[in-house]
Homo-oligomer: A and B are copies of this chain.
Amino acid sequence: MRVKPDPHDPALSRPVTGLNEAGETVSLNVVTERPMTLFLNSQEVVTMMTIGDHPDLLARGYLINQNILTRDDAVEIVEVDDELGVVVVRTKEPTTFEVKSKKKVRTSGCAQGTIFSDVLEAFEDVVLPAEAKLHTSWLVPLAKTINTTSSLYLEAGAIHGCVLAKGAEPIVYFEDVGRHNAVDKVCGWMAANDVDVADKIFYTTGRLTSEMVLKTVMMGIPILISRSGFTAWGVDLARKAGLTLIGRAKGSRFLVLSGHERVVFDHESGS
């Protein structure tokens, strides 16, 4: 795995004490959440609550997923000031982003965030690669690798994970308190590493809501898998975009909700 969680990074979690049901003082390791204010050149865009790892990828991915920057916009440098909680994305070409002028849509569920309406417009034009395939025999080993990778989820819980995979192999695995942040980190990593998405699979621990589907499609990834549930509108959007959507992937069980033409049923059927 090229990027994996670092659950032992002291900046990402810290002990919190409480009283248990017996009235005893107990200490738990709990994920942190900190404000990070994103600037695009001289313009303030948004303040995000994040666990704080990979702020450069989070910032870049956010701007791309919000359709503020394209993957082709040349990013000169991403400056991070952990003290101030500021991250500044500087582009070669001047930008004229005006957040105030953008209509915002407040999306639902764990994939929550604010999406600018032009994302919804751009969504219409995306054509996902048709040749991509999902072998159902990949699902169990992929989930197993993800679930057994040392992570903040295993250490502290109350966090979401997003994985970019090829076949049954996770390539990168990002976590954040907000799942939308974990998605943005994957997007930022793909942009920073100029990744070809045509043969990639996106895996998330959280629910398949409209925003999750929107972002996966905007990233151009043809296959989205979750071990959790889904919303009807998320499924509708996936079908509209021709995204292969797999929900409730647990153990040897799963549901193909959209784009079954990419699915190759080659797993050993459990009894």
Contacts and interface: CB of A to CB of B under 8 A. Distances in A.
Interface residues of A, number: 73
B32 A233 contact: yes
A142 to B, nearest CB: 14
A233 B100 CA distance: 28
A208 B261 CA distance: 40
A38 B243 CA distance: 30
A41 interface: no
Contact of A47 (B13, B105, B177, B254): B105
Contacts of A160: 109
A151 interface: no
Interface stretch (A22-30, A165-173, A189-197): A22-30
A239 B196 CA distance: 47
Contact of A257 (B18, B34, B228): B18
A22 to B, nearest CB: 6
A28 B248 CA distance: 12
**Chain A at the B interface: mostly helix, strand, loop or mixed?**
mixed
A108 B18 contact: no
A109 B106 contact: no
Nearest to A47: B105
A254 B18 CA distance: 10
Interface string A203-243: 00001011100000000000000001111111100000000
A211 B107 CA distance: 15
Given A14-B232, A22-B269, A232-B31, A110 B109 contact: yes
Contacts of A228: 158
Contacts of A229: 30, 156-158
Interface of A: 13-14, 16, 18-23, 26, 28, 30-35, 46-50, 100-101, 103-114, 117, 136, 156-158, 160, 176-181, 207, 209-211, 228-235, 247, 252-257, 260, 263, 265, 267, 269-270
28 contacts: A18-B255, A18-B256, A18-B257, A19-B260, A19-B263, A21-B267, A26-B255, A30-B232, A31-B231, A31-B232, A32-B231, A33-B233, A34-B233, A47-B105, A48-B108, A49-B106, A49-B210, A50-B108, A106-B113, A106-B178, A108-B178, A109-B112, A109-B177, A112-B112, A112-B180, A114-B114, A158-B207, A158-B231
